[in-house]
Chains A and B, each alone.
Chain A
Amino acid sequence: MTATLPPPRTGEPLVEIRDLEMHFPISKGLFRAPTDFVHAVDGISLDIAPGESVGLVGESGCGKSSTGRMLVKLMEPTGGSIIFRDGDYQRDVAKVKGSEIKDFRARVQMIFQDPYESMNPRRTIFDTISEPMAVQGVGSVAEREERVLELLQLVGLTPAESFLFRYPHELSGGQRQRVAVARALVMNPTFVVADEPTSMLDVSIRISIMELMTKLGQDLGVSYLYITHDLAVARYMCDRIAVMYLGKIVEIGPTEEILANPKHPYTRALLSAVPVPDPSLKRPPVEIKGGISAAINPPPECRFIQRCPFAAQVCQENPHPPLEQQGDRHFVACYRVDEIDSVTEAAS
């Protein structure tokens, strides 16, 4: 079954997310219908261009991982649509069903956070990397072996032959994450969702995985969605950054623009809270209080209102603000975005 969609044009986004929603019901008991919902993802829209890497950043519980999981169809959205285009292939991810799923999975892959838990400890590296090929029924065993060797080479696990029949426990965390990258790329996907791919790794290894993913992305024409809480990592891996807060994208723009010129009060706070690896620099104080609040049946007004130092009447009386353009490809969801600078100056 194919969704009826307009034919693809050049310059169209690879992934087109529209009003995506994920509301988790809170069980009230076996025979009672749930009345409360966790609004994990609450109407986000985002385009990812072919070859682009977009970073999704935010605190734990903001909905970034749920978004990633919906994009690779590990979770079904409760609303909205995700259109995925790959050449002539065009599908609404939520409507991919039955035998189509296999085809979809060859094009979209995921890299998980924890390289210690994302692999079957009883399967060799060859089995792990070639499994997508086996599932898809691609190639003979000899061809699969050749492809796996090629990928091991590509991700820098050399000599490749010596890794083929090892088990995950024989590898270090960095080597395992390289195997995870190889497994994600084995079917030549066009889109990869990477959920905190480097957060479990030591700095020195982190850099090499970041470089590896960026280089392979460019060489193989893969688009990435990086899910991370670490803005410094996002800076080095992403063309654009989308900041999420309680299920909403509150700001989105080119990476350096967001870092140099953050507009949303939450982005400002997030940036000023990141420690700086230089004792001679002093960060500005962080202006917001407390931790992220619960996303259970949130009130209609701006999600950030309780923690926002700039909240005013306009924020109380109106629904959550829409994303509005504030510069080149820079969008912000805040009613007071124009006034914040003057308020900050007046205070200091």
Chain B
Amino acid sequence: MTTSLENLETRQIDPTKPLLEVDRLVMHYKIKAGEVSAIEDVSFTVHQGEAVGLVGESGCGKTSVALSLLRLLPSNAEYISGEIRFNGEDLLYLSPEEMRQHRWKDIAMVFQGAMNSWNPVYRVGDQIRETLDTHYRGAMSYDQQREHMERLFSSVGLTPEMLDRYPHEFSGGMRQRAVIAMALACSPELIIADEPTTALDVIVQDQILKELKRIQAELGMSIIYISHDIAVIAEVTDSLGVMYAGKLVEYGPTSTIFARPRHPYAYLLLRSTPSISGPRRELAPLEGEPPNLLSPPTGCRFHPRCPFATDKCVTDEPPLEEIGGGHRVACWHHEQVPELEEALHR
């Protein structure tokens, strides 16, 4: 099986140039009981060729952010304010038809649960062909489409014959490879991968992550990884955003955050992740449960669970401030977090 990318379109990248800028995004879900503040003032930038990770627990808003970027949110979602600029163009002002032209062509998504992203009654190849039909109508002949799809399949380590098979004939890992092939079909500049390997076994996960990383580097794409699995994010991303209760609480280079997390939540999240390498250290438990976003806590949303919370945290919301080296953190007491480490070891 050859995994060659030479025939796919590659692009020159300028790592200093922003590709996607999310600027002070606020999004609420309207439900019977009120408004759920799902995304609150989230800002981050994805540069060309960059891999950005978003981590957080269920319900923290990471998947909502991903769906917002593609404007695939359910109908009860309401954008309150903010901008999502893709190559300088604000996606929130596009008509549904204009947005449709961007989807898959410029921004593609690898959804959570590859098992469910295929229609079981169509051949996999025909489902990919549908994407090509939508975006390259008339520009590609039937044979050219087939040839392109075969290249896509070989680039993700699948054989061309598998295009003629049905999804149920694929194993979980193969289905996820096929999803990635489909995401690559129109050579997007940005891929959003929402829990791309969550349902897979570790050995297959390892293969898929390596594949994605290689393809991303060779084709000059940007990727946003969304995961609750901190270990996966640590391995594949350049920058990392930690979300808690709809807010981005820390953002910066992955290596910096892992070496010195400064938000108490980020700190506790990293320290509560079990690892098989290194000495077996005590895991720091994170007490309590995430808040109900129908009525989020006042001030800092993490204050009810935070070991450092003071009166100020209860009343005033901390801004996401730059503390040097592109590292931003939203905490009034971020300088004290290293002390937390000592306190825990005592």
Question: Could you tell me which A residues sit within 8 Å of B by CB distance?
Answer: 59-60, 172-175, 202-208, 210-211, 229-233, 235-236, 256, 259, 269-271, 273-281, 283, 286, 288, 291-292
Q: Using Cβ atoms and an 8 Å threshold, which residues of chain B touch A231? A: 202, 276
Q: Contact between B202 and A204 (Cβ–Cβ < 8 Å)? A: no
The stretch that binds A, out of B77-85, B212-220, B279-287, B337-345, is B279-287
The stretch that binds A, out of B41-49, B125-133, B267-275, B319-327, is B267-275
Q: Contact between A256 and B202 (Cβ–Cβ < 8 Å)? A: no
Q: Contact between B58 and A229 (Cβ–Cβ < 8 Å)? A: no
CA of A167 to CA of B280, assembled, Å: 38
11 pairs across A/B with beta carbons < 8 Å? A59-B201, A204-B268, A207-B285, A211-B283, A273-B206, A275-B229, A277-B230, A277-B231, A291-B171, A291-B173, A291-B201
B314 within 8 A of A: no
Q: Using Cβ atoms and an 8 Å threshold, which residues of chain B touch A232? A: 231, 273-276
Q: Contact between B57 and A286 (Cβ–Cβ < 8 Å)? A: no
- Nearest Cβ on chain B to A348's Cβ, whole angstroms: 19
Closest to A256 in B: B280
B33 within 8 A of A: no
CA of A229 to CA of B276, assembled, Å: 13
The stretch that binds A, out of B10-18, B179-187, B253-261, is B253-261
CA of A230 to CA of B202, assembled, Å: 8
Closest to A276 in B: B277
Q: Using Cβ atoms and an 8 Å threshold, which residues of chain B touch A211? A: 283, 285
B22 within 8 A of A: no
Question: Could you tell me which B residues sit within 8 Å of A by CB distance?
Answer: 57-58, 171-174, 201-207, 209, 228-232, 234-235, 254-255, 258-259, 268-270, 272-278, 280, 283-287, 289
CA of A229 to CA of B273, assembled, Å: 15
Q: Using Cβ atoms and an 8 Å threshold, which residues of chain A touch B268? A: 204
Q: Contact between A202 and B203 (Cβ–Cβ < 8 Å)? A: no
- Contact for A274 among B202, B228, B272, B287, CB less than 8 A: B202
Known: A205-B289, A229-B202. A279 touches B276 (CB 8 A): no
Closest to B289 in A: A172
Q: Contact between A270 and B274 (Cβ–Cβ < 8 Å)? A: no
Q: Contact between A275 and B235 (Cβ–Cβ < 8 Å)? A: yes
7 nearest interchain CB pairs?
A204-B286, A275-B231, A232-B274, A202-B57, A277-B231, A273-B206, A59-B201
- Nearest Cβ on chain B to A71's Cβ, whole angstroms: 23
Q: Using Cβ atoms and an 8 Å threshold, which residues of chain A touch B234? A: 275-279
Q: Contact between B201 and A229 (Cβ–Cβ < 8 Å)? A: yes
Closest to B204 in A: A291
- Nearest Cβ on chain A to B66's Cβ, whole angstroms: 18
- Contact for A208 among B201, B209, B285, CB less than 8 A: B285
Q: Contact between B269 and A270 (Cβ–Cβ < 8 Å)? A: no
Known: A174-B289, A203-B57, A208-B285. A291 touches B203 (CB 8 A): yes
Q: Contact between A274 and B57 (Cβ–Cβ < 8 Å)? A: no
- Contact for B206 among A259, A278, A286, CB less than 8 A: A286
Q: Using Cβ atoms and an 8 Å threshold, which residues of chain B touch A269? A: 203
Q: Contact between B286 and A207 (Cβ–Cβ < 8 Å)? A: yes
